[in-house]
Structure 1
Amino acid sequence: MEDNREMPDRIPRRGARAVALPRPWAYPIEWRLLDGRGWLSKSIAHEIDQRRLFPWIPVFFGVGIALFFQADGQPALWAPLGAALFCAAAAIALRRKPAAFCAVIAITALFAGFSAAAIRMRNVASPALARIVVTPVTGFIEAIEDRQEGKRLLLHVVEMRDVPDAERPERVRVSVRLGIELSPGQLITGTARLLPPPQPAWPGGYDFARDAYFKGIGAVGSMVGQVRSDAASPAPTWALRLAAYVDGARNALTERIATSIGGAAGGVSAALVTGKRGLIPEQTNEILRGAGIYHIVSISGLHMVLAAGTFFWLVRALLALAPSLALLLPVKKIAAVAAMIGATIYCVFSGSDVATERSLIMTLVMFGAVLADRPALSIRNLSISALVVLAREPEALLGPSFQMSFSAVAAMMALVPLMHLKESDGRGSGIVARVASWVSRPALGLATTTLVASIATAPFAAYHFQSLNPYGLVGNALALPLVSLVVMPSAVLGVLAYPFGLDRPIWQIMGFAVSQVLDVSAWVGSFSGSTVIVPALGSASLVLLTVGLIVMTVPASSLRWLAIVPAGVGLAFAATPHRYDLFIDRDGAGAAIRGRNGRLTLVGRPSDFVAEQWLRADGDARSADDASLRQDARCDKAGCVVAADSGRWIAFVQEVSAFEEDCRRAAVVVSQLQAPPGCKARFVWDGRALKESGATTIRFTPDAIEVRSVRTGTQIRSWSNKAHPLEPSPAREGLRRAQPIPEQDLPEEDVSSGEPD
């Protein structure tokens, strides 16, 4: 039968836009289809039609990586690799059954992620020091980072006296305060005080040892005494020469920019171009964080777009000047190749951080689509980028750089259709209305994307840094226009003029704009509550919020509304943080005890870094030198006692002579010394336990003790008897209120801050 319905001559504008969009944000929920299979089938069909199944491959790949890092010990490689190959073969056999094929592909991606992590773990395996040593060290300088207090070197070790070859680290990171002029690639010799890479200050805290392992760093410390160059140096490998050459070029440009501008603006400007952040004063870092714009010093999307776009525009414009070339050659594709090469060089030059690699891969995919005359779908582009980054560095999944960068970009991509739906062509409007639309549209876009990115990255900021910046929207709205219109274009022009020696005026213009950005940041950061310290987010809450974010951004259908469930449960968990009653340092040098007032009290000699990690994990905004941190502890030279929030007295023993009384009178005894076998305290955590467990947190309940350690995980122990509050004995009534004790000599530790663009 002939169909008499006539097709419309023209698709309405609203319908055309909805068809053109990769996915409409407001895909409606049809409640009448919520009979289970009908709604689900319709949603899945829409996902397939919009080609939204591929983005789930990197999701399951990441799940496999996460499972690897939860495994005990070092899992075998043959098991996940064999399972991945078997599942891949099964997928080929089931390719004509869509549901089974998709399920097997997901399992294949999971095992592939597990295998990638296992392979990476084996490829980077190298010895690490197990004890503190002071020994002569000879090594090549791979990289130098200039800092305000000196230099920090990454040494490729050639010889380390007093350390057997089987235990000798491949690389060490040392600081140098005074010494000869140093340059990358140079072979130096000197005496170094080296320590094992420090483990987290508390279970769930920043794990420097893990990051150092994947970078091949087996020890950290400082050079003591004179550092001299070894004239009779063996020839370095080509890889070392290349790394040294790139780092030397980065240092030279960093120094050129910093000296041309000067001050804090010079350090920030240099970081914007070369990725070297060592010259930024810590106070300036705090100002940028307080304003919520610290992400500008992380070389990522904005930097890569300007760099690649400049190459693309210049090459295309130059070729277009010759009509014969423009007519005979594919000018656009040649310019795309030039942009791809230039962007890759810029990524290598700027240090190849995770956010930079993400931006580079997305840029290469975009220009690759130009070469193939195909559109570059944004979510597919991001998925390819995630796969490449995770396959190359699976450990990046656990770091803030990967999590915050990809979450921000994915959330903004989910918002793009909504932003387009709000646009207006402006036809029929007056000049005033057109100007207002031209001004308001980018302002609205900036405010909206900033808000979405801030919400998307908030869970990861709370988990890794225990801080939120509520005024980030204001800071970005005021600073980013200046960064986009003046700072970054000046950076591109300065790099192009640098080989000709004509770059100094450009750097000075850039420095003036950066100074204005810092002034705006200082003003925003001065607002009350610009930085909010929150208790550390639990792992369960982070996982649920991450699942919610993925479900919200990946699907194209109304399946995205399912994100409400995990996100809601995750927020509920976040609203009831899991606080600990006792933090114990990894070597027992100090502890933090929750007193009767509900706040932490410091005892012993923990370093400022460790103490601040404990405070931030508890959502406490006090600094490590705050006098109130020690006023509730009663101490003498033998140790301290604190009345805990649970009503029990907790003793921190520093001398053997205190064990006799504290074991008899206190409910809990903590010490880096070994407690005597007859200690009658209800709970004892001494040097023997710390050696096995590392940094430890303890939570007291009426019936049990929850012990969580870096090395041994979580244990639940019951009280042997019902503990009761005890007052200090008369012999200890004369204990003085604790005074701050000089911090112990620990290696410098810093937390990498990956920021989204």
Structure 2
Amino acid sequence: MQADSSSAVHKHKVAPEGKGAAPAWHTLWTGMWSLAAIDARPLLFAFSLCAGAATYFLVPEEPRLLACIGAWIGAAVLLLAARRMVTWTFLYVLMVAGFGIVTGFTAGAVRARLVDAPVVSEATRPVMLEGWVAGVEPGKKGPRLRLEVHAIQGFAPEDQPRFVRLTHMARLEVAPGRFVRCWAVLRPPPAPVLPGDYDFQRQAWFQQLGAVGYVQGRCRGGTLGPPTGLADRLGLSLSTFRRNLAAHVNVAAGERAGGFAAALISGDRSFMAEEDQEALRGSGLAHLLAISGLHMGIVGGLVFFLTQKVLVLFEPLALRVPVQKPAAVTALLASLAYLVLSGASVSTQRAFIMSAVVFGAVLFDRAAISMRSFAIAMIAVVLLQPESVMTPGFQMSFAASGALIATYEAWSHHRAGRERVLGPIPFAWASLVMTSVVAAVATAPFALYHFDRLAGLGLIANLLAMPVISFVSAPSAALALLLTPFGLGDVGLRLFGYSLELVLMIAHGCADMAPSKVSLPSAMPGASMALFAVALALVTTARGAGRVLLCAFAVLPAVYLWTSSPQLVLHWSASGEVFARTSAGGMTRFAFADGDGLAPLRYSTLETTRCGELPCELETPAGIVELSEEGSCRPVDGAVLQLSLTPPGETCAFNHDWDAVSREGGLSVWQGKSGWVVEAGAVCRDRPWRQCQS
């Protein structure tokens, strides 16, 4: 990457060695930032863009759109002025970062208005719903249908959600693209079950998902044709094609691994057994299900390699045209097709953009893998879908990619020597080990924050499974594609299935041997996760050995905040579940009432125990938790159900009733150094996806 000739870095003069030379610490600082400050402007802008988008989603009230646009215009003018006037590098860095923050914030506000669609305000009785099946997802109680709404009984056209998601507990007899009629109970998308947990309500808003619910009986096919809109018709046609492709792969790849094969090729996980998905998560191989850089790299790389070898066979063409350039175009088109077929998730979009940059670099004779391609991918995803910044898929995908590219750049100068010393095969294994370790370390903070657990044998599982995926599964899938025109594609798919059976065997073995999946009893606070993200940004932006020191400046406070933050002792969710810390230091989960919540990401592996006859008691380190009708202390008049906490040797710490809990969106009890903290689970926020009730 070449620095701009007019940038401030060329105006910085370094004192000669000897008398009057700059001190060592100043030289170290200059080495870290002189190139990073100016040459890494896309990277700085990308990270600040993420910070701005995250800030938009965390503010308590919805900002005015005109104010956001005005601030963005002002920041752009200041940046242009600074580009010509400011000669101090660090100040210019701050200007770039500030512009990125304002841009990300504004992108979030604009996107929230663009996806504005009606949302069901309260639960309904069973109503007749008509619509087209836009997709089918796996669910614990049955497949979940995503329907594009045509009409809902009792709803005016302007009040109808655009999409709804329904759990279909009966046997499913309809496919994507089909027009259906269902009797369904609808309710608003639920708020998070636990404090800081995945906000499905927010994500539903950006997916224009206006209601969730369940089908009474089963959905029946209707006679109405496809929707009239071109985009809607194309979307339904693509969903139908993906579903048919997944169904074919599921059968052709074999019963044991057919669902896994269908998920890898089409992104449709509905054919995959829940125990296999849990084994992949428990063994640290769940990243195989998220179609990302690995899959896109294999597809694009194989197509590039095969096309290049075929073109070389035509000597007149090979002598006149650089064969790598038409091969790059072919690989780019194949990657685009895979993006569309796999459902275009955030990780897949990121992988495609980076692949496009890589193949574009081949076309224009530039460096293929660099931080510039990483920054371009991040900028594109955040500008198109700023809400993805808050999702674990975005965070873990870019964390792994950024750390791997930074490691690759740091080690690239020593690669030839190390490969010569170790030999090609040991060097390949050493590279695989290094890749697995770097990716695991980079994604660990985000996995701990969102899921509160790590895979204990994840490194071993990846070392065993990745060679199978790279050298057996991928060529088998490519063989299936090449044989399909001759009617022999199922042969390649069967080989593909055999290789994935081995991967599933590895996943189940490692998941079963891992003692506890390294679950941590204390949840990571958001401030710690933000500091870990800052550490990652510093590692990828800075240069030289000093980047480790900068990373420590962010990691150490993150660890301190994590270890010293108040611990969640008790949470009574609006869904009727109670999460309480046990005497052993873990968490237990009890269901006292039925509600509308979703299963949380944190503590998702806990078994749910239902309370029998009242009163129910649970002994915790904080004291005795009791659920009763009367209340063990300070009873609330007229309450149907009451929850009390009595610390050892003390009187009742608090008593709360179910009506208040359901009204406030949950109740959390934290134990800190200064004592007890009791707070409502969902504070009223005037945001598009969570309106304050009047």
In 2: Cα distance, 1:687 partner to 1:355 partner: 40
Q: Check the 8 A contact 1:81/1:111 in 2, yes or no.
A: no
Q: What are the equivalent positions in structure 2 for 1:148-227 lying under 5 Å apart?
A: 151-178=143-170, 181-227=173-219
Query: How many angstroms does 1:417 deviate by?
Result: 4.0
Change in Cα spacing, 1:34 to 1:232, as seen in structure 2 (3 Å) is: same
2:70 corresponds to which letter in structure 1?
Answer: G
Q: Check the 8 A contact 1:147/1:279 in 2, yes or no.
A: no
Q: Check the 8 A contact 2:633/2:655 in 1, yes or no.
A: no
Change in Cα spacing, 1:498 to 1:149, as seen in structure 2 (3 Å) is: farther
Q: Does 1:45 align with 2:16?
A: no
2:34 corresponds to which letter in structure 1?
Answer: A
Change in Cα spacing, 1:239 to 1:700, as seen in structure 2 (3 Å) is: same
In structure 1, the residue matched to 2:634 is: 663
* Matched position secondary structure for 2:567: coil
Residues 705-736 of structure 1, C-alpha deviation per residue, up to 9 Å, x if partnerless? 4233342189xxxxxxxxxxxxxxxxxxxxxx
Q: Check the 8 A contact 1:692/1:711 in 2, yes or no.
A: no
In 2: Cα distance, 1:47 partner to 1:182 partner: 55
Residues 257-300 of structure 1, C-alpha deviation per residue, up to 9 Å, x if partnerless? 11123334111111111111122212112222222222122211
In 2: Cα distance, 1:406 partner to 1:284 partner: 26
1:473 to 459, 467, 470: 459
1:298 corresponds to which letter in structure 2?
Answer: A
Residues 479-498 of structure 1, C-alpha deviation per residue, up to 9 Å, x if partnerless? 11111001012112223433
In 1: Cα distance, 2:509 partner to 2:673 partner: 48
1:573 to 561, 573, 589: 561
1:624 to 608, 621, 625: 608
Q: Check the 8 A contact 2:573/2:681 in 1, yes or no.
A: no
1:105 corresponds to which letter in structure 2?
Answer: V
Q: What are the equivalent positions in structure 2 for 1:127-146 lying under 5 Å apart?
A: 127-133=118-124, 134-145=126-137
1:706 corresponds to which letter in structure 2?
Answer: V
In structure 2, the residue matched to 1:123 is: 114
Residues 433-461 of structure 1, C-alpha deviation per residue, up to 9 Å, x if partnerless? 8xx61210010000111011101111111
Q: Check the 8 A contact 1:292/1:476 in 2, yes or no.
A: yes
In structure 2, the residue matched to 1:451 is: 437
Query: How many angstroms does 1:407 deviate by?
Result: 0.6
Q: Check the 8 A contact 1:612/1:623 in 2, yes or no.
A: no
In 1: Cα distance, 2:552 partner to 2:429 partner: 29
User: Which ranges in structure 1 are unaligned for 5 or more consecutive residues?
Assistant: 1-31, 715-757
2:95 to 101, 104, 110: 104
Q: Check the 8 A contact 1:155/1:172 in 2, yes or no.
A: yes
* Matched position secondary structure for 1:276: coil
In structure 1, the residue matched to 2:682 is: 711
* Matched position secondary structure for 2:423: helix
Query: How many angstroms does 1:332 deviate by?
Result: 3.1
2:109 corresponds to which letter in structure 1?
Answer: A
In structure 1, the residue matched to 2:689 is: none
1:79 corresponds to which letter in structure 2?
Answer: A
In structure 1, the residue matched to 2:66 is: 78
2:50 to 57, 62, 68: 62
In structure 1, the residue matched to 2:17 is: none
Q: Check the 8 A contact 1:33/1:39 in 2, yes or no.
A: no
* Matched position secondary structure for 2:210: strand
Change in Cα spacing, 1:613 to 1:44, as seen in structure 2 (3 Å) is: closer
Q: Check the 8 A contact 2:137/2:143 in 1, yes or no.
A: yes
Q: More deviation in 72-81 or 322-331?
A: 322-331
In structure 2, the residue matched to 1:749 is: none
Residues 116-166 of structure 1, C-alpha deviation per residue, up to 9 Å, x if partnerless? 000111111222222222200011121234679754321111110123444
In 2: Cα distance, 1:562 partner to 1:148 partner: 44
* Matched position secondary structure for 1:94: helix
In structure 1, the residue matched to 2:348 is: 356
Query: How many angstroms does 1:516 deviate by?
Result: 1.3
In 1: Cα distance, 2:305 partner to 2:619 partner: 69
- The structure with the largest alpha-carbon Rg is 1
In structure 2, the residue matched to 1:8 is: none
Query: How many angstroms does 1:78 deviate by?
Result: 1.5
Identity of aligned residues (%): 29
* Matched position secondary structure for 1:690: helix
Change in Cα spacing, 1:314 to 1:479, as seen in structure 2 (3 Å) is: closer
Query: How many angstroms does 1:379 deviate by?
Result: 0.7
Q: Check the 8 A contact 2:617/2:626 in 1, yes or no.
A: yes
In 2: Cα distance, 1:139 partner to 1:373 partner: 50
In 1: Cα distance, 2:525 partner to 2:77 partner: 39
Q: Check the 8 A contact 1:652/1:671 in 2, yes or no.
A: no
Q: Does 1:381 align with 2:373?
A: yes
In 1: Cα distance, 2:442 partner to 2:583 partner: 37
Change in Cα spacing, 1:156 to 1:614, as seen in structure 2 (3 Å) is: closer
Residues 317-345 of structure 1, C-alpha deviation per residue, up to 9 Å, x if partnerless? 44444344334445433332222222111
2:536 corresponds to which letter in structure 1?
Answer: L
Q: Check the 8 A contact 2:406/2:540 in 1, yes or no.
A: yes
Q: Does 1:273 align with 2:265?
A: yes
Query: How many angstroms does 1:363 deviate by?
Result: 0.8
Report the RMSD for the aligned CA atoms in angstroms: 3.3
In structure 2, the residue matched to 1:554 is: 541
2:244 corresponds to which letter in structure 1?
Answer: A
In structure 2, the residue matched to 1:344 is: 336
In structure 2, the residue matched to 1:724 is: none
1:541 to 504, 528, 532: 528
In 1: Cα distance, 2:327 partner to 2:580 partner: 62
1:142 corresponds to which letter in structure 2?
Answer: A
Query: How many angstroms does 1:368 deviate by?
Result: 1.4
In 1: Cα distance, 2:418 partner to 2:300 partner: 31
In 1: Cα distance, 2:333 partner to 2:59 partner: 40
Query: How many angstroms does 1:392 deviate by?
Result: 0.8
Q: Check the 8 A contact 2:193/2:599 in 1, yes or no.
A: no
Query: How many angstroms does 1:307 deviate by?
Result: 1.7
Query: How many angstroms does 1:418 deviate by?
Result: 4.6
Change in Cα spacing, 1:177 to 1:493, as seen in structure 2 (3 Å) is: farther
Query: How many angstroms does 1:558 deviate by?
Result: 4.4
1:711 corresponds to which letter in structure 2?
Answer: A
Q: Check the 8 A contact 1:592/1:614 in 2, yes or no.
A: no
Q: Check the 8 A contact 1:611/1:624 in 2, yes or no.
A: no
If the length of structure 1 is used for normalisation, what is the TM-score?
A: 0.79
Q: Check the 8 A contact 2:265/2:342 in 1, yes or no.
A: yes
Query: How many angstroms does 1:225 deviate by?
Result: 2.6
Residues 83-110 of structure 1, C-alpha deviation per residue, up to 9 Å, x if partnerless? 1211212222222324344332221111
In structure 2, the residue matched to 1:585 is: 573
In structure 1, the residue matched to 2:299 is: 307
In 2: Cα distance, 1:368 partner to 1:357 partner: 16
* Matched position secondary structure for 1:144: strand
In 2: Cα distance, 1:546 partner to 1:34 partner: 31
Q: Check the 8 A contact 1:319/1:325 in 2, yes or no.
A: yes
* Matched position secondary structure for 1:582: strand
Q: More deviation in 218-227 or 198-207?
A: 218-227
Query: How many angstroms does 1:506 deviate by?
Result: 0.9
In 1: Cα distance, 2:81 partner to 2:544 partner: 29
Q: Check the 8 A contact 2:451/2:602 in 1, yes or no.
A: no
In structure 2, the residue matched to 1:25 is: none
In structure 2, the residue matched to 1:249 is: 241
Change in Cα spacing, 1:479 to 1:157, as seen in structure 2 (3 Å) is: same
In 2: Cα distance, 1:459 partner to 1:246 partner: 36
* Matched position secondary structure for 1:557: coil
2:534 corresponds to which letter in structure 1?
Answer: V
* Matched position secondary structure for 1:405: helix
In 2: Cα distance, 1:497 partner to 1:184 partner: 27
* Matched position secondary structure for 2:463: helix
Q: Check the 8 A contact 2:627/2:642 in 1, yes or no.
A: no
Q: Check the 8 A contact 1:596/1:645 in 2, yes or no.
A: yes
